[in-house]
A and B are shown apart, each in its own frame.
Chain A
Amino acid sequence: MSEHAIDPGRRGILPALSDLLWRNPRLVILLLLGPPALWLGIVYLGALFALLAQSFFSIDEFSGLIQYEFTLKTYRELFTPANFDIILRTVVMAASVTIAAAIVAFPIAYYAARYARGKWKALFYLGVMLPLWSSYLVKVYSWKLILAKEGILNWLFETLHLSWLLNAYLAIPVVGGNSLSVSATGTFLVFLYVWLPFMVLPIQAALERVPASMLEASGDLGATPGQTFRHVLLPLALPGVIAGSIFTFSLTLGDYIIPQIVGTSRRFIGQAVYAYQGTAGNIPLAAAFAVVPIVIMAIYLWAAKRMGAFDAL
């Protein structure tokens, strides 16, 4: 048994610091949040506001110089047919990629959350995360090879004597093209592949928190598996689906490399931003384009909240 009921306290700076932090829990929070808040506040938000400010300037068409006066002229320019086309194309692509990712991810996530145990669970995480370990560019280029006219997919269709099917599909305007690697479908497939892990993991985490008894209770009360999915499983998994869709939607809205390597010559928002701030030197228009995904995401999150997507959180 020790001599004292209360330890006299060890000497030194670290033990003294431990005692101080124990007495002042707020100090701990300050230490935890201070550095990242400074980083986010100054570097990230600062840069964002600098960008926002740029979008309210305009460019002089003759001299090519930026006029530092407040104007909405640049935003008006976004709505010219050529530019609005870019926005529409990007949003439709982002929405299709998000919906497809949710549909593909749900069964995988459901299996992982409900059935996978032990080494199968490890295999699931490995399988989902593995693509994230390799370089983004390498993945996109390998998809170009897969989708090319001389690629493995074309070869597969030929071997199965289904080339006519692929050609018929490629003949469809908008989604088709000369080959998959230069079609909107190709862009879609690569986006879907690259962002899929960001959809699988949040849905799996949400499903993991749904107890099995909840699904049994629904069946017990007369619901068929389809009804249970609609009335219990989907509402409870929705926060995960929304979290995943924030990733897939915003990542697609902002990406400028995938559509450049795989796809048509028609541009996406990211490519427009890249082109206007680079070669064209039209920084105000580039900034205005960059604001578009932010506004779209804000509207999307507001709508999701209105629909009660976060009620089960």
Chain B
Amino acid sequence: MTAAVRFSGVSRHYGDVRAVDDVDLSIAEGEFFAMLGPSGSGKTTCLRLIAGFEQPTAGEVSIFGESAHGVPPYRRHVNTVFQDYALFPHLNVIDNVSYGPMIAGTPKAERHRAAEDALEMVALPGYGSRKPSELSGGQRQRVALARALINRPRVLLLDEPLGALDLKLREQMQEELKALQRKLGITFVFVTHDQGEALSMADRVAVFNAGKIVQIGAPEDVYYRPEVPFVADFVGSSNVLPPHLVAKVTGQWRHGALRPEAVRLGDAGLGADGLHATVHSTAFLGAATRVSLDLEDLSMVALLPKGARIPQPGEQVHVSWAAEDLHMMEATE
């Protein structure tokens, strides 16, 4: 099967800055694909390369097997939901949504009917006559989604679409987006810096760092089985243990990843040969309590369940974990 989107050795440089650096990538048709990374890691540039707003400096982007080299955005059957929504302020909602069909020359009555259907799909029926400035952030987001979907794109690109929404609305939109994608079967490519969002929505996640993809896989893979310390830290918020610490416990000279909830804290008197840390601070999170620890010059985080004894700042504790919870990574990054 041909990939919906394929990157072969794609780079995008701005002068000396390598925004995207030799990326290979293949996104399957109908997949919900997330590009995850900190800001400036190249994920948005990759999205813009698919949309056609940028041209690669080297390498090739192809969409459904066809080379996108030199193809302008208006000739690609790919639509984008912008981070700032980019709704046209001089047009009302119905004209915003039916902009694509209007450009394609669809008669007014027909395109307005299609726009009404699209608005219904995003749960905004009857909002057609309003101006974008009269809508809330969540409503604008839905209009932007309807406008991008009305052209029936082969690939839908979403650039941090939930970033400007408050937590509750964001969680609701996550579920709706996922349901919509399953219903329409369109390939979704989703850019985010929020690992929770990427893990909960995507079929596969590509983790970006410094213009490169450092790991690509199912959410469980990148969360439980990080291949490099960066992924362990960024995706799982895991504690990355340096090789000399790992060697002390297991005898292997490799980086280890230890999720905060797997850290066990015990009385300092226990196991004199084990690892000892000083409690730096504690924070009550509701379902759990986060304990920040200083282990030699390493900062560690432990997540203690409700009911566990919470040590006081400054207290000496014994640190341990179940052997199977320590995930071994590559020896070097």
Task: Report A's interface with B, CB cutoff 8 A.
Answer: 211, 213-214, 216-224, 227, 231-232, 235-236, 311-312
B88 touches A220 (CB 8 A): no
Q: How far is the CA of A220 from the CA of B144 in the complex (A)?
A: 12
A219-B74, A220-B51, A222-B104 known; A213-B151 Cβ under 8 A: no
B53 touches A216 (CB 8 A): yes
Q: How far is the CA of A134 from the CA of B83 in the complex (A)?
A: 46
Q: How far is the CA of A222 from the CA of B90 in the complex (A)?
A: 19
Residues of A close to B82: CB separation below 8 A: 213, 216-217
Q: Which residue of B lies closest to A239 (CB)?
A: B90
Chain B interface category by residue count = 20 to 34
B108 to chain A, nearest CB (A): 14
A216 touches B73 (CB 8 A): yes
B89 touches A312 (CB 8 A): yes
Q: How far is the CA of A217 from the CA of B88 in the complex (A)?
A: 9
**6 nearest CB pairs, A to B:** A217-B86, A213-B86, A221-B100, A219-B73, A312-B90, A223-B103
- Give the interface SS of chain A, mostly helix, strand, loop or mixed: helix
B76 to chain A, nearest CB (A): 8
Q: How far is the CA of A221 from the CA of B97 in the complex (A)?
A: 10
Residues of B close to A218: CB separation below 8 A: 88, 99, 103
A220 touches B103 (CB 8 A): no
B84 touches A221 (CB 8 A): no
Contact of A220 among B73, B90, B104 (CB under 8 A): B73
User: B72 on the interface (CB 8 Å rule)?
Assistant: yes
Residues of A close to B79: CB separation below 8 A: 220-221
Q: Which residue of A lies closest to B80 (CB)?
A: A220
* 22 pairs, CB–CB < 8 Å, chain A vs chain B: A214-B88, A216-B51, A216-B53, A216-B82, A217-B86, A218-B99, A219-B53, A219-B73, A220-B51, A220-B78, A220-B80, A221-B79, A221-B100, A221-B151, A222-B74, A222-B100, A222-B103, A223-B74, A223-B99, A236-B88, A311-B90, A312-B89
A221 touches B99 (CB 8 A): yes
B143 to chain A, nearest CB (A): 12
Contact of B103 among A211, A214, A221 (CB under 8 A): A221
Additional A-B contact list (5), CB under 8 Å, known A219-B73, A220-B51:
A217-B86, A218-B99, A221-B74, A221-B79, A223-B99
B132 to chain A, nearest CB (A): 11
**Per-position contact with A for B67-81: 1 when CB-CB < 8 Å, else 0?**
000001110001110
B115 to chain A, nearest CB (A): 12
Residues of B close to A217: CB separation below 8 A: 80, 82, 86, 88
